[in-house]
Amino acid sequence: MELASYLAGERWSDHPACTHPLLAALARLVNDNTDDENRAKLVHLVPSIIGLNSDDLRVDAHIALRCATTALPVAAAERQLALAVSVLAAEEMLARLDGAPSGRMSERSRRAMAEVPHAAEQARRFSRAARITEKGFRRYAAPNAVQLAVVGIVQACIPDPDALLRRLLEETIEECATLIHPATTEAPAPAPAHA
């Protein structure tokens, strides 16, 4: 993140204004929890996070949801309930922001929850009684989802947690780019045919 601040012409900081705060937090966590050899593979991502900033709460919700759904299937049992609650909270926030019915779930969320049925059921029971505000989601729930996800991946019994962390960061950056700059990430229209 310091390199991103430098390349963006900002004051040297690991909290640059040019990057969404939650995306920057994810980048810092991935960097800090990746070994030295794999950390070098993250450098090429720096230019892609410059200019990815928005105050749209949907961005926070998508980041939290991407993190929670990635970690949920691989996390240890003691982290699964919190991650499943994070999935439900992010989905609920997106539904509320989109004016959609409560309980709507993306296919990615359904698949992740299906892999941990016991935690998913407990999370649903817990979430029925809880109602989170937009401010509470941005300040607490979304950052907690990101942190829980990274720790869950780092401590997971999987062959290469660094590769999963890197993939999570890459996919989150790509999703943020699509949300924040949709016109520049769409495929170009085909050129008109000449007669």
pLDDT beneath 70: ranges in the chain: 1-18, 184-195
Number of neighbours of residue 189 by Cβ within 10 angstroms: 6
Residue 131's pLDDT is what? Answer: 82
Q: Which residues pair with 52 in a beta bridge?
A: 19
Tokens at residue 185, please? 């990430």
Residue 189's pLDDT is what? Answer: 47
Residue 16's pLDDT is what? Answer: 57
What predicted TM-score, i.e. pTM, was given to this entire model? 0.86
Are 25 and 142 a contacting pair, CB within 8 Å? no
**Tokens 């003691």 belong to which residue?**
78
How far is the CA of 50 from the CAs of 56, 59, 60, 104, 150, in angstroms? Answer: 17, 15, 17, 32, 22
pLDDT in tens, 124-171: 999 887 788 999 999 999 999 999 999 999 999 999 999 999 999 999
Residue 52's pLDDT is what? Answer: 87
Helices of type H across the chain: 2-7, 21-32, 36-39, 46-49, 57-71, 77-98, 107-114, 117-129, 134-136, 142-154, 161-180, 182-185
Q: Return the DSSP state at 140.
A: I
